[in-house]
Amino acid sequence: MTIFSDSLRAFLKPVVPFLDDAEVSEVLINGPREVFVERRGKLERTSAVFTEDGLLAAARNMAQFVGRPLSEERPRLDARLPDGSRIHVVLPPVARNGTTVAIRKFSPDKLTVSDLIARGSMTAEVARFLEAAVRAKLNIVVAGGTGSGKTSLLNALATFIPEDERILTIEDSAELQLRKPHVVAFESRPPDRNGKGAIDMGELLHSALRLRPDRIVVGEVRGLCLLSGVELPLIAVRAQVASAIGLVVCCARLADGSRKVTDVAEVLPLDERGEHRVQELWKFASSGRSADGAVQGRLSATGATPRCQAKLDAVGFSDAESTQRAQHPLGSESRG
């Protein structure tokens, strides 16, 4: 099955070979004469070129394909194609290089926890801990930059959710692939050509809470305030955040293109000054590069005992000493 309809592929002819290449995950068009691809985690410049009119026509065809406005008045388009691929378009003069397009290809084969361990993205020890955290219903935030592997990790962690639980997902652009028997998926909607009909993630969360969820899984969040319209003192907001989040798992794309879990931290109560505190449980430390340029390093336990250990014990996680195995414990608490 092709990624796009035949007509859309015709407009994108210069980059069709990359769209069909299983090793290419993203196509980045920085104007008509500059095309990059991400292949196996690394950016490569290609020899592909468009004409200015041809690239603009391709952008407009994509907008038409998804039924979204794209014009001088609305020069930005963020959408999902029927196959799940994500596109983002910015027109000139906002895009100074010319029409700019990013196509993030959809992969039907999601990575499993075993895949992430085999690739060195995280250790089996960390995976066992996160499995216990999911089963204990700790609230987990997966954080990281663009292309750092957040969605892949979130998909993998969701496999730990018991089969008999009802899951509601909320996303700005559908990317999650939760292969569970009881999943209700919500996707936000931008305004139509008349500026009406928008449904944001905050509204979807309100609906989700009324639909008897056992779990709510929220996809990538950009610029969202779920408490919009609620005026609270800063200290109250911080206290709510600290009480609502149990763990933060940080992901990063390293210089060699590999994606790794770089930190697992527990969110602690606010300190006496009302500042956030976290206790690092695992931290990745780089030790240099191998002969072939691969980043070397280790995701090591800090030696800190999780404050949530009682909740983990309740779901049968008896490996309480796992975070205390580091031969060289790191500093475990930081403030922000």
Higher-pLDDT residue of 326 and 102 is: 102
Give one DSSP letter per residue of 309-322, joined into a string: HHHHHHTT---GGG
pLDDT value, residue 330? 38
Q: Could you report the per-residue pLDDT of 230-255, keeping only the tens digit for each?
A: 566 667 766 777 778 999 999 999 98
> Looking at the predicted structure, is the pLDDT value of residue 311 above 70?
yes
Q: In this structure, which long-range contacts are made by residues 254-257, counting pairs with CB atoms below 8 Å and at least 24 apart in sequence?
A: 254/286, 254/295, 255/295, 256/41, 256/42, 256/289, 256/293, 256/294, 256/295, 257/40, 257/41, 257/42
Higher-pLDDT residue of 309 and 221 is: 309
- 113-335 has which fold? Rossmann fold (3.40.50)
> Looking at the predicted structure, is the pLDDT value of residue 320 above 70?
no
Query: What is the average pLDDT value for the chain, to the nearest integer?
Result: 87
> Which residues make Cβ contacts (< 8 Å) with residue 136, sequence separation at least 6?
308, 311, 312, 314, 315, 317
> Looking at the predicted structure, is the pLDDT value of residue 225 above 60?
no
Q: Distances in Å between the alpha carbon of 175 and those of 63, 126, 134, 223, 315?
A: 19, 24, 20, 18, 29
Q: Could you report the per-residue pLDDT of 170-186, keeping only the tens digit for each?
A: 998 888 999 999 999 99
- Asked if 202 contacts 228 with a C-beta cutoff of 8 angstroms, the reply is yes
> Looking at the predicted structure, is the pLDDT value of residue 221 above 80?
no
Q: 311 is written with which tokens?
A: 């909740």
Cα angle at 104 between 98 and 108, to 5 degrees? 160
> Which residues make Cβ contacts (< 8 Å) with residue 154, sequence separation at least 6?
142, 176, 217, 219
Amino acid at 236: A
Q: Distances in Å between the alpha carbon of 130 and those of 142, 266, 290, 321?
A: 11, 12, 29, 14
Q: Could you report the per-residue pLDDT of 132-162, keeping only the tens digit for each?
A: 999 999 999 999 998 899 999 999 999 999 9
Q: What percent of the chain has pLDDT over 90?
A: 61
Strand 277-289 with 295-301, pairing: antiparallel
Q: Could you report the per-residue pLDDT of 107-119, keeping only the tens digit for each?
A: 877 889 999 999 9
Higher-pLDDT residue of 276 and 215 is: 215
Cα 20 to Cα 224: distance, rounded to the nearest angstrom: 34
pLDDT value, residue 116? 95
Higher-pLDDT residue of 166 and 84 is: 166
> Looking at the predicted structure, is the pLDDT value of residue 227 above 80?
no
Q: 290 is written with which tokens?
A: 């191998």
Write down the CATH number for the domain with range 6-104.
3.30.450.90
Residues of the chain with CATH 3.40.50.300: 113-335
Residues of the chain with CATH 3.30.450.90: 6-104
Which DSSP category does 49 fall into? -
> Looking at the predicted structure, is the pLDDT value of residue 329 above 50?
no
Quick check: pTM over 0.95? no
pLDDT value, residue 328? 36
